[in-house]
Structure 1
Amino acid sequence: MRDLTVAVFRPDDERLEDAVELIDSLGATAVPDPMLAVEPTGSPPRTDADCVVLTSKTGAELVADAGWEPGEATVCAIGPRTADALREVGYDVDTVPEEYTSSGLVATLEGAVDGARVEVARSDHGSPVLLDGLEAAGAYVHETVLYRLVRPAGSGDSTERAAAGTLDAACFTSSLTVEHWLEAADERGNRDEALEGLTEATVGVIGEPTRETAADAGIDVDLVASEATFDALACETVEAAAPTYHE
């Protein structure tokens, strides 16, 4: 019986290392296939905001490297991982929503930002839900793009496995990882076969927007993680895949 193989698409840094370690600890074999690479823009957040929102560990590290100071602004993190990253580089975090999503953060802030200047500092692929929701709550919203997310050259090994029928599960962590996975399959000329292979695999996604993107592309999604974290996604995907794996 071969090992349960699980594709993970985290950026090629400690996040990918942590993902591989977690999958291995669950008794499966990780198939690391980075679908995201970071290109910093060099643009720091504004310093005159009443509230500043950061949405990733990468963003936290970039604002720290730029020497950004929040002043009297309320600092908000979209989830505990981002909050931990901000604290590690020396920032105090005032707000973390109970639901670690853009809509969850809007729900947490909507009663407190009417008339406030809100700075959203994130990647170039951030969800419009956050900006639209804060504006609807009465905030004056400004977005700073801290970095661009691109597909690394050479990505797509997992599409070969899917096409060959040797990929048992996949963990998509954003709509962009889905889009880049499909681009990699197109580049390798195996899109139809790879999509067919995914129908036999267990596909987990990190949230509803990712599920919608996958479904629109013809990918059957087996589960949406109960919590918008990679740990929850990985654990639940492996658990869903393992009971039906008997080869």
Structure 2
Amino acid sequence: MRIAITRLKGKEGDDQARCARRGHDCYAVSPLTGEMNSDQIEAFIQDVRDKKFDCIFFTSALPAQKIGPLLHDLPLPRVIAIGPQTAKALREYGIFCEVLYEFYSRAFVPFLGEWIVDKKIGIPRSDVPNVKLMQGIRDAGGVPFEFQIYSLIPTYEPLDLESAEGIMFTSALSFKSAIWKRREDLVLIAIGEITAEAMEEAGLIPDVVGDGSLEGTLSELNLFLLMNPGG
């Protein structure tokens, strides 16, 4: 299947190879672009230098890619990555990190357990609010410090789906920001349950819902195609 995958402009990474390993072709479509905030990046790096954090939590690969080169020669606290792609981005710069067992930030507090009490957590992320994560850390006794190092801005460009047989939305915001023409023959794919909820709220039921990862979603897609060989 040829799949259009929503990605920030220029951030499709190794999607093509990962899809090919599961028998699919893909290309990126970009309902959003990322604009970096140099002041927030500098403030975060300075706080790392000043050893203000007991832990750093990377909630996506983009902050890891942007900040990794600035961290590799600094003494670091405990570092947590949300998934293998984020961890890979950090490890490319020699940064040791632990990896969450789920692809959702809600797994962060349970992962740390009682250790989180009175710990200061530095979180470089986008400007899209994650109230549940921040409140969850506070409720568990931790102290979150959020750095909005980049903004997600709609491109307002219609998605090119002419050659696509399926479209995979990789976040709720990418779905909400997308301008696209719906087709009856287009397989609708949500990378995870939060994205699926956004689609359902808009009156679209995804054909496939993944586990939050590209690989897991492609596995669910293959199962869907096996069970629906004609459509």
TM-score, reference length from structure 2: 0.83
Secondary structure class of the residue paired with 1:111: helix
State the partner residue of 2:31: 35
Look up the equivalent residue of 1:215 and give its one-letter code.
Answer: E
Q: Which range is displaced more, 210-219 or 37-46? A: 37-46
Contact 1:53 1:118 in 2 (8 A): yes
Structure 1 residue 31: deviation in Å?
4.8
Shift in Å at residue 62 of structure 1?
Answer: 1.6
**TM-score for the superposition, normalised by structure 1:** 0.78
| Aligned equivalent of 1:123 | 126
Q: Distance in 2 between matches of 1:40 and 1:74?
A: 24
State how far apart, in whole Å, the 1-side matches of 2:164 and 2:115 are: 46
Alpha carbons of structure 1 residues 50 and 177: separation in structure 2 relative to 1, 3 Å: same
The code of the aligned residue for 1:109 comes to: L
1:231 aligns to what SS in structure 2?
A: helix
Structure 1 unpaired stretches of 5+? none
Q: Secondary structure at the match of 2:221?
A: helix
Rounded Cα–Cα distance in structure 2 between residues aligned with 1:241 and 1:168: 12
Q: For residues 43-67 of structure 1, what are the alpha-carbon distances to aligned partners after superposition, in whole Å with 9 as ceiling and x for unaligned?
A: 2223211111111221112213445
Partners of 1:17 and 1:23 lie apart in 2 by 12
SS in 2 for 1:135: helix
Greater shift after overlay, 119-128 or 73-82? 119-128
Q: Which amino acid aligns with 1:202?
A: V
The answer on 1:8 being equivalent to 2:8 is no
Q: Tell me the secondary structure at the aligned position of residue 173 of structure 2.
A: helix
Q: Does 1:64 align with 2:68?
A: yes
What amino acid is the match of 2:177? H
Instruction: For 1:186-205, list aligned pairs within 5 A.
Output: 190=181, 194=182, 197=183, 200-205=185-190
Report % sequence identity: 24
The answer to whether the 8 A contact 2:109-2:116 is kept is: no
Contact 1:33 1:155 in 2 (8 A): no
In the other structure, the counterpart of 1:211 is 196
CA contact (8 A) 1:16 1:34 kept: no
Instruction: Map residues 98-109 of structure 1 onto 2, 5 A cutoff.
Output: 98-109=101-112
Q: Does the 8 A contact of 1:203 with 1:223 survive in 2?
A: yes
Gapped runs of 5+ residues in structure 2?
Answer: none
Would you say the 8 A contact 2:5–2:26 is kept in 1? Answer: yes
Aligned-residue Cα RMSD (Å) equals: 2.5
Task: Give the Å deviation of 1:144.
Answer: 0.3
Which residue in 2 is equivalent to 1:134? Answer: 137
**Equivalent in the alignment of 2:213:** 229
Shift in alpha-carbon separation, 1:107–1:31, aligned structure 2, 3 A:
same
Count of residue pairs brought into register by the alignment:
223
Distance 1:81 1:39 in 2: 21
